Structure 1
Amino acid sequence: MNPWRLRLLSQLDALGTVRAVAQAAGLSPSSVSQQLAVLEAETRTQLLERTGRRVRLTSAGLILARRARAILDHMDSVEAELRGFGEEPSGLVRLGAFQSAIHTLAVPAVSRLAQRHPHLDVELLELEPHESLLALRSGEADVVITTTDFDELPLGPDLDLVQLATDPVLLVVPHGHPAAGRGPVDLAACADEPWAFDMPQSYMAGLALRLCRQAGFEPRVVCRFSNYLMTLQHVEAGLSITLLPGLAVDRRYRVTTRELAAPVTRTITAATRRGAPPRAAVHAVLDALRHQPSPPLPDRE
């Protein structure tokens, strides 16, 4: 059996559709279908069945897809052992992290790893929390930095979790803004303000909208950015206010942060697949994430 085709089958189990697998793998849907058909021929077993225009895994396909993850993990482990006989962390580790954790947690950890373990390669992937768990389960990531505080993020017994930090959600306003006084802020007082939001369907856009509605108002959104630095620039210019995690507030921007009267704090967590063969490289990445200085808090006036 070809490991690449096994990975496609495992992704189909995790992502649900051939189109989603194609997007993740950078292939056309027809190419994915062709490779899965070849896998069926290699195994001499029907792995897929059509229901209307959709394809789903047969019982045999489900068994192979879920065993495939263990097979691929074991191959990665063997490769790492052959490269370093298991003593020195080596090989490739794919680390997924959401935007605000990349420059505060992931990049410093990867920089230290590059100095300590020259045979270890870390591929850094920007992934929203809900995306990172899918990538972890499908084998597209080996370690992810995610957050575990909200019901829409599907955790389960198949994951091992390591708490890294806590991170408050803050109101961010321009210097001199009326809300820039001292003390926590009631979001209801900001009902008439122009708001900067993350992109629709993103983690922070959903959280900010939920908090505004809990405070009794529908926010007037004047801009949406997928990059927190652009959001901070917009706020700094006096054009909007926003809600951001503390890790996302870059100290180079002249903005003021305020804690919320009803505090919201998220737990930053590293996750790996439970039951995957132990790899020195993965343990080295986890240790680097655990044992690092806490990032500086944003300035408050």
Structure 2
Amino acid sequence: MTLDPWRLRLLTQFADRGTVRAVAAALSLSPSAVSQQLTVLEREARATLLDRHGRRLVLTPDGARLVEHAREILDRIDVAERDLAGRGAAPVGPVRIAAFSSALSALIIPALARLAAAHPLLEPSTVESEPHESVPALLRGECDLAVVAEVGDAPLPRGAPMVTVPLVTDRLVTVVSTDRAAPAGLAELAESPWVLDSASSYLSDLVLRRCRQAGFEPRVVARYRSFGMMLQHVEAGTAVTVLPELAIDPRYRVHTAVVEPVVRRSVSAALRAGSEPRPAVQVVVDALRRR
């Protein structure tokens, strides 16, 4: 018996998601069907790939080794299929991009607009996704490119099988309405109402950490996933906030000042490691770097 690529993909999904039930939900299968296919894969591999610990299945050492091989095999199959379909030399076909909000508006949408005329056969699709969501999605093969950000106290996962391409560095800025002066430091905003990104988001957690380091807990009166809504709230004079420079839309009349001490955020394009990116993916990365 030979190793079946579909069953290898199920095994990598199990490694990424942790349970048979999660794999079944992601692939619209029944848990019993997933279990049956993994059992067949064990027969194909002539090895025990999964072991039961209480009510949980976990990868055995052989299972973990096969996952590493499977990722390489599946990447090579993907490259081969696209090459045989005539997609090996030209930037054509789908490119799935996951990115956080300010990167979408400031980097990705302008880049895709520039690419549209030069590469009409390119088929980009985008989804808004925080780095803690987009990196696992990238490693699971659910997107081709993730635009991610990190600061010193919130680094990207180390040791993950991915490579990053630096794109831009920006800073955090305080944002207040035009009827007040931009503050010299965060502590000056301790008594103000705040509007923040959605709870547990990358930006919300970062701003909360910085406020606490400045000696106060911000009084949050509103939360939005949309930076436009946040800026509208500030423009109306009903709240203050902190945003990355990339998120500041000049259509809103607000005052900004760089947060002191300076908090620099590195924005990168993340790609799965192990093989050269397809031309369609590479041309998008190149466009982002030429911002």
Scaled by the length of structure 1, the TM-score of the pair is 0.85
Matches for 1:280-295 after TM superposition, within 5 Å? 280-292=279-291
SS state at 1:123 partner: strand
Deviation at 1:40, TM superposition (A): 3.9
Deviation at 1:100, TM superposition (A): 0.9
Q: Does 1:62 align with 2:64?
A: yes
- Matched residue, 1:253: 252
Question: How far apart, CA to CA, are the structure 2 residues paired with 1:152 and 1:30?
Answer: 38
- Matched residue, 2:204: 205
When structure 1 is superposed on structure 2, of 125-134 and 204-213 the one drifting more is: 125-134
Question: How far apart, CA to CA, are the structure 1 residues paired with 2:28 and 2:105?
Answer: 26
- Matched residue, 1:127: 129
Question: How far apart, CA to CA, are the structure 2 residues paired with 1:100 and 1:27?
Answer: 35
Deviation at 1:152, TM superposition (A): 4.5
2:165 to 162, 167, 183: 162
Structure-2 change in CA distance of 1:225 and 1:271 (3 Å): same
Question: How far apart, CA to CA, are the structure 2 residues paired with 1:168 and 1:18?
Answer: 42
Question: How far apart, CA to CA, are the structure 2 residues paired with 1:132 and 1:14?
Answer: 13
SS state at 1:272 partner: strand
Q: Residue type of the partner of 2:229?
A: M
- Matched residue, 1:14: 16
Q: Residue type of the partner of 2:139?
A: R
Deviation at 1:29, TM superposition (A): 5.2
Question: How far apart, CA to CA, are the structure 2 residues paired with 1:231 and 1:290?
Answer: 28
Matches for 1:87-98 after TM superposition, within 5 Å? 87-98=89-100
Deviation at 1:208, TM superposition (A): 0.4
When structure 1 is superposed on structure 2, of 6-15 and 246-255 the one drifting more is: 6-15
The gaps in structure 1 that reach 5 residues or longer are: 293-301
Question: How far apart, CA to CA, are the structure 2 residues paired with 1:32 and 1:239?
Answer: 52
Structure-2 change in CA distance of 1:2 and 1:228 (3 Å): farther
Answer whether contact 2:173 2:244 (CA < 8 A) is retained. Answer: yes
The gaps in structure 2 that reach 5 residues or longer are: none
CA-atom RMSD, angstroms?
2.4
Which digits, 9 at most, give the CA deviation of each residue in 1:209-249, with x for residues without a partner?
Answer: 00000101111111122222222222222221111111112
Q: Residue type of the partner of 1:210?
A: R
Q: Percent identity?
A: 51
- Matched residue, 2:227: 228
Which digits, 9 at most, give the CA deviation of each residue in 1:31-50, with x for residues without a partner?
Answer: 64455445445545432222
Q: Residue type of the partner of 2:208?
A: L
Aligned length: 288
Question: How far apart, CA to CA, are the structure 2 residues paired with 1:199 and 1:26?
Answer: 29
